[in-house]
Amino acid sequence: MSKSTSSERAIEKKVPWIPIILVTILISVVAQCWVILAGAMSAFYSLGIILCSIAISTSYYIYHVLLAGITQLTSSKWLASKLTPENLLYIYIIGSCITWYVAAVGGHAMGVQFHFVGARVMEPEQSLKYYPLFVAPSPDVCKLAFPGGNPVPWSEWIPFIVFWWLHLYGVGLLFTATATILRKDWIDVERIPFQQVMILYEFIKRMPTPEKPKSKLSLTSPFSIGVLLGIIFNLPILLTYLFPWFPDIYAWRTDTCGHGSIMSASAGLRGTPLWELVGIGFVNKHPLAVGVMYMAPLNVLFNVWFWYFVYLILMQVAYIMGYYTGLRDATGCCREWGPVSIRFSPPFKWIAFMAGGMIAVTFFYLLLRWRYIRDTLRAAFGGYEEFEKGEPTSYRIAWLLLVAAFILIMAIWMVAGMGIVAAFLLPLSLLLFWTCESRIWGMTGTYIRGAEHGNALYRLLLWPTAPSQYTGEYVLGGVLSRSHSDCPEALNSGSLFSAFSSYRLAYLLNVDSRKVFKTLLAVQAIVPLVSTVTGLWLIYTIGANRAGYWGFYTDVITTVSPDWWNRLPGEDPWIHIFAVGFIAVGLVSYLHSRFMWFPFEPIGFLTAFSMASIFFGVWLPALIAWILKYITLKIGGSKAYEGYGVPIASGFTIGFILIAFLGGLIGVYRFFVPF
């Protein structure tokens, strides 16, 4: 059935602001306490990101699952009547926005802003020299949090709370405006799938209704089979975390990183042909990544594994020519981070290539779709009002919001000590890199995780090498550029994922997209404030020492040391590699848009040469997903794909999430009753 615009499909209802605000506050408090109290288990059993390589979160799904389960158990027609498409959409918006503040996998439950706090304790003299007290309070104030049992000195923390709220909300506004401007093209025209939302939609289609609040569950349906498979896979892994004696059925405790990847020069690969390939750092074996990527377009999946094999050939040729010596006996991490690195070292310096390619994805999208951008601007200036019919808001408001948020981010960091150029490069880098990331996430289900490309514009235009004498501007610019580019759970960078995916879900559920826009603006304002206040209260209560890694953590000064700065995104000289990446992705983008027969496209091409494949090993899930999807379509066509393939893959994710939720509950329980 063809889809029309949002306004034509939706029944106008008022947004229920009071329930939205109350639920947002409640879940923000619970999720923040959860991620801190669950300790190390929160990395994989929290309400935030539980598989970092594909940015999949418990909060995308668990609230819908719980509501459906309660309705099913109680047979409540009243509760079923509340499970309207609008309410289910609001729940997703709230859950997805909260995700970026409770994602322990990203490195810090309380957010990157608390790296600055940790530096006050670990490097007090330097930190006081480089950034003011509203970026982080005095060392004495921060030290009070470590033993626990102390009241929060709120008067000392209020400047910090206000400053970081302005930044985090500014990022949310910037990305909400960006998604709103591009919504029509990405959602209505290109139909970018956003697989994580497709999974939720498959579940929503099976939720109770007022006419049928309790339905007979079929254990033999494709969706139910998927759920059982997800439970069967994740439950033994959870039990190995809880009980050391439990057998490691999937070898998850053997040479396997948290994102489900086998390290290359480990016992897992020793003696296999893969051992001989110096280009391999990690091989991802996580079936959840396969299930999500199964719903990606076939040509994108093909490009991921095809160009990754080209990458392996290029690396092996370079090895034969005398490069990358010594890597055959190195572990996956040493191949990635060692003095000779497959990512930074000559001749390819792949992170520099990747950085140029990421900027090219955004630049050439805007260039090739210039007519669309022109039309949004024409509508903004009142010359094409018909074009914005059915949009979340007027393009004038969307563009003004984008400009205002851009200026807000610049202004607060100029007040903190950054110059105008450094402050300008921060929101510019955000837009260039995260627009690219959102296209990759929407097309593949994965994204390019890693901070090593974030300083590219700063090295190009401000600091080609680390200055001999640090300045506050350099420290702030260096830390923020890397942190913001690292992952969606860093400083609300994932708010662009939330905005685009919310618009996609509204499209699938026939809900007016204007409600998405309004709700995003409200939720983005509430979550950072509540999360920060809750986290501070809990850490001062239980003690940062007891909270461990999820309390206060610092890597501020080392982030901008010459050893790091001068190596990222590639060892000198690197600009020519950056340019090659930009040109290569641009050329593939142009040819893909110009010729229907052209087999290559930019998203899979870039993913193959990026951190996603080189470090997180998603080339293997892409290959497996491509084979499975190709066979499904070849044998049963779209009917088999939609009737069996998608339900099984979606069900697997829901089953996996159920165990992740259970594991988080157990983790919180263990904080109070250790076992």
What pLDDT shows up at residue 10?
Answer: 43
CB within 8 A of 665, min separation 6: which ones? none
The gap between the terminal CA atoms of the chain, to the nearest Å, is 54
CB 231 within 8 A of CB 659: yes
CB 632 within 8 A of CB 645: yes
Mean pLDDT of 551-580: 84
User: Could you tell me the pLDDT band of residue 4, with boundaries at 50, 70 and 90?
Assistant: very low
Domain ranges of the chain: 6-220+345-600+602-608
Q: How does pLDDT run across 101-113, given as a tens digit for each residue?
A: 886 554 444 677 8
Mean pLDDT of 232-253: 91
User: Could you tell me the pLDDT band of residue 2, with boundaries at 50, 70 and 90?
Assistant: very low
CA distance 583 to 154: 51
Asked whether the predicted pLDDT for residue 114 surpasses 60, the reply is yes
Asked whether the CA dihedral 591, 597, 600, 604 is positive or negative, the reply is: positive
CA distance 20 to 25: 9
Q: State the average pLDDT for the chain.
A: 90
Mean pLDDT of 49-77: 92
Q: Pick the range with the lowest mean pLDDT from 272-276, 277-281, 368-372, 575-579.
A: 272-276
Q: Pick the range with the lowest mean pLDDT from 41-50, 205-214, 269-278, 648-657.
A: 269-278
Asked whether the predicted pLDDT for residue 206 surpasses 90, the reply is yes
Task: State what percent of residues in the chain have pLDDT above 70.
Answer: 93
CA distance 144 to 125: 18
CB within 8 A of 156, min separation 6: which ones? 137, 138, 141
Q: Going by DSSP bridges, is the β-strand pair 49-51/261-263 parallel, antiparallel, or unpaired?
A: unpaired
Asked whether the predicted pLDDT for residue 402 surpasses 60, the reply is yes
Q: How does pLDDT run across 445-488, given as a tens digit for each residue?
A: 999 998 899 999 999 999 999 999 999 999 999 999 988 898 89
